[in-house]
Amino acid sequence: MQFRTSITARSWNNVGRSLALAGACLALPLLLAGSDKNAKPKEVPGQMVDSGSFGVFMNGRRVASETFSIQQDNSGSVIKSEFKTDAGTDTAGQSSELQLTAGAELKNYEWKETSPGQSQAVVAPNQEFLIEHFSSSPQEKQHAQTFLLPASTSILDDYFFVHREVLAWKYLASSCKQDHGQLACPLKQAAQFGTLNAHTRASTLVSVQFSGRERISLHGTDRELIRLDMKSENGDWTLWLDDQLKVQRILDPTSNTEVIRD
């Protein structure tokens, strides 16, 4: 496998576009240079940052699919996702909607189980904390749990792999810099992010590191992609992104789970 230690200038431009649209890069000095902080922001019509589907494979067999979209407008971003098991497996379905402010902070997160149960949860900031309201069905009385976490906490649910793409963008925006026309990322140096898994009501730190560019075979074609490694106490994931900063493949070697963009 071949590795490189920087991302091309074209990729840097894609980082700016993708992260700005997702609301995750407003802290980037390069993108803010020359902006008038006192000027009233222009109204921006909604733009689709990314959309599509992922196939989920276990031991080489497709077992589920995730359909997702990431849309941005002047007020922030909305990430929608739907997860369903494929035919021939136990029926299971979940949906989620993650709303972020223009500064990439949590505005609201809603998770629903559509099959086999009807559990649901909503997470939103409450002053300096996050509060989650949850129940096992719409008819059941809701319970509440407070997390001593800031609104900058990333939502990272088990079955919504698009959340890992958003976290990858957050990492690239916060840890990489432009150097002579290239996006230079510290090789093998991890950055940590606080995350919350809403449906399990558990928080954990996730470390993300840039591991160079790697040539892999995808859909029968050799491609050179950006590799990021995510590690936490709950498991490790390797992500491969293209030059448009879109996740193409995710691998969990421990459970032999592979996620591939259709």
pLDDT at 86: 86
Please indicate, yes or no, if residue 36 is contained in any of the structural domains.
no
Nearest CA to 218 among 192, 249, 252, 194? 249
Global pTM value: 0.84
pLDDT at 13: 55
Nearest CA to 162 among 235, 61, 54? 54
pLDDT at 177: 82
Please indicate, yes or no, if residue 39 is contained in any of the structural domains.
no
Distance in Å from the first CA to the final CA of the chain: 23
Residues sharing a CB contact under 8 Å with residue 135, sequence separation 6 or more, in sequence order:
119, 120, 141, 142, 143
Please indicate, yes or no, if residue 1 is contained in any of the structural domains.
no
Structural domain including 103 reads 6-31+45-261
pLDDT at 27: 31
Asked whether the beta carbons of 123 and 198 are under 8 A apart, the reply is yes
Please indicate, yes or no, if residue 195 is contained in any of the structural domains.
yes
Residues sharing a CB contact under 8 Å with residue 202, sequence separation 6 or more, in sequence order:
196
* Cα 202 from Cα 227, distance rounded (Å): 27
Sequential pLDDT tens for the chain (262 residues)? 333 445 555 554 555 544 444 433 333 322 222 334 444 445 556 789 999 999 999 999 999 999 999 999 889 999 999 999 987 667 899 999 999 998 889 999 999 999 999 999 999 999 899 999 999 998 899 999 999 999 999 999 999 999 999 999 999 988 988 777 667 889 888 999 999 999 899 999 999 999 999 999 999 999 999 999 999 998 999 999 998 899 999 999 888 999 999 9
State the total domains in the chain.
Answer: 1
User: Please, what is the angle between helix 162-175 and helix 9-22, to 10°?
Assistant: 120
pLDDT at 142: 92
pLDDT at 91: 85
Please indicate, yes or no, if residue 206 is contained in any of the structural domains.
yes
